[in-house]
Amino acid sequence: MLYTACIVRLFDYYTAVSLRREPFYLLPQEAMMSSSANKDVITRFITEIWNGNNLKALDTFLDPAYYDYTYEPRNREGLERALLLMQTAFPGHETIIEEIVSEGDTVAVCLTLRGTHAGPFRGLPASGKPIEIGGYRFYKVSDGKITSHRGLIDLPSLLQQISTND
């Protein structure tokens, strides 16, 4: 019975592949190449935009219909505001990619943010204190462009690190 179920599943797989008119042996490599290309887009985005503060390069990376689940407003303008806030509060900050994983059109990034609190942030004046916090980001990539973003940083830790209360 198990043998029959396996044969049926295998037949379904080959049928689905043949309908795509692609040799089945190309599918895993094709998927890996797409995942690799998507990781490259996100790595370059973090390097050029977040670390390089090159807002002029946003058009290179963002799809015209870009949607941001993290920043307000939930579009390119929200991302630009977040970038400007970080440049003002933590000039010269560095986003370090600790781990990056891609599957299909989704790229997940585990990151560390390091910098110095040199400007106002959420009502707190510059403290001159160093910061180091962790975070996660999830991007969707289509045809080499970022279509959406979701992110989370350790904001409580950040606020604790820049607090003037010792």
Selected residue with higher pLDDT from 3 and 87? 87
Span 22-162 CATH architecture: Roll (3.10)
Q: Which of 5-9, 38-42, 64-68, 126-130 has the lowest mean pLDDT?
A: 5-9
Query: Which residues, listed in sequence order, are joined to residue 33 by a DSSP beta bridge?
Result: none
Fill in the amino acid letter for 120. P
Q: Are strands 106-116 and 130-142 parallel, antiparallel or unpaired?
A: antiparallel
Give the mean pLDDT of 105-116: 98
Strands (E), 27-105: 62-68, 94-103
The maximal CA–CA distance of the chain, rounded, in angstroms, is 70
pTM for the predicted model, two decimal places: 0.79
Backbone dihedral angles phi then psi of residue 65, each to the nearest 5 degrees = -95, 20
Cα gap 140→134, rounded to integer Å: 21
CB 79 within 8 A of CB 149: yes
Cα gap 69→13, rounded to integer Å: 35
**pLDDT recorded at residue 28:** 56
Q: What is the mean pLDDT of the chain?
A: 87
CB 159 within 8 A of CB 144: no
Cα gap 137→100, rounded to integer Å: 10
Give the mean pLDDT of 13-17: 46
Domain layout of the chain by residue ranges: 22-162
CB 162 within 8 A of CB 116: no
Checking if the pLDDT of 120 tops 70, the result is yes
